[in-house]
Amino acid sequence: AQTVTQSQPEMSVQEAETVTLSCTYDTSESDYYLFWYKQPPSRQMILVIRQEAYKQQNATENRFSVNFQKAAKSFSLKISDSQLGDAAMYFCAYRTVSNFGNEKLTFGTGTRLTIIP
Amino acid sequence: NAGVTQTPKFRVLKTGQSMTLLCAQDMNHEYMYWYRQDPGMGLRLIHYSVGEGTTAKGEVPDGYNVSRLKKQNFLLGLESAAPSQTSVYFCASSRWTGPREQYFGPGTRLTVT
């Protein structure tokens, strides 16, 4: 079974600085998808960024980028120029490529990010 | 375009009572999901549906039932609520192709006393 581990329960960063959130996962599959979701105090889960395992290029979405290390099974999220609105719980998630019987997203336990003004 | 909506947003039940949570999506997604979120445990899949009229069990299905009579709606039922079902419930939907990115509703906070 796949597992996702976020070893940093809490992180903090000064506004305008850069922060990296860690995520590792365990799988025997060679093809899969990885996601970062953001959950602000409003509770809404918002997709931040997605990475396909077969792509070597790291995904980037504006100030958000990932460092995907497939051999190490590591998928970290880098937030550049941190803003107050980035304060949230961040969840790493894994999904298999298989189309049958494996529909769930496996989530990590989350990292709470605080932005210091 | 409202995305994924959930009704109600909050509910308090007594042990043994029943209730139904409603999820609706207007993105014409084939797949829909119900999760529960508990402190320190991330989100866990309860049930999901790959199309109208079909449902399947997820990771933690016991004590819940679901129905998908219309493509845009996915209902989660608790027949006899227990305190262990106190949680925040999220509905999500996705396309059936590609990465199947899941889009989430705002959640329902349920307390069972």
So what's the pLDDT on residue A12?
97
Q: Is B106 on the interface with A (CB under 8 A)?
A: yes
Residues 6+ apart with CB under 8 A from B99: A33, A50, A52, A95
Per-residue model confidence (pLDDT) at position A112? 96
Q: Which of A89, A97, A86 minimizes the C-alpha distance to A14?
A: A86
Residue A2 has pLDDT above 90, yes or no: no
Res. B111 pLDDT band, cuts 50 70 90:
very high
Inter-chain CB proximity A103 and B88 less than 8 Å = no
- Asked if the model's pLDDT at residue A101 lies above 60, the reply is no
Q: What does the pLDDT read at residue B62? A: 95
Window 20-49 of B: residues touching A by CB (8 A cutoff) are: 31, 33, 40-45, 48
Q: Comparing C-alpha atoms, which of A17, A90, A4, A84 is closest to residue A49?
A: A90
CB contacts < 8 A, A to B, total: 53
State the pLDDT confidence band at B78, using cuts at 50, 70 and 90. very high
pLDDT confidence of residue A103: 67
- pLDDT on residue A105: 84
Q: What percent of chain B has pLDDT over 70?
A: 99
Q: Which positions in chain A touch B106 (Cβ < 8 Å)?
A: 42-44
Nearest to B48 among A50, A95, A103 (CB): A103
User: Poorest-confidence range of A26-30, A87-91, B25-29?
Assistant: A26-30
| Statement: residue A72 has pLDDT above 60 | yes
pLDDT of residue B41: 75
- Give the per-residue pLDDT at B19: 95
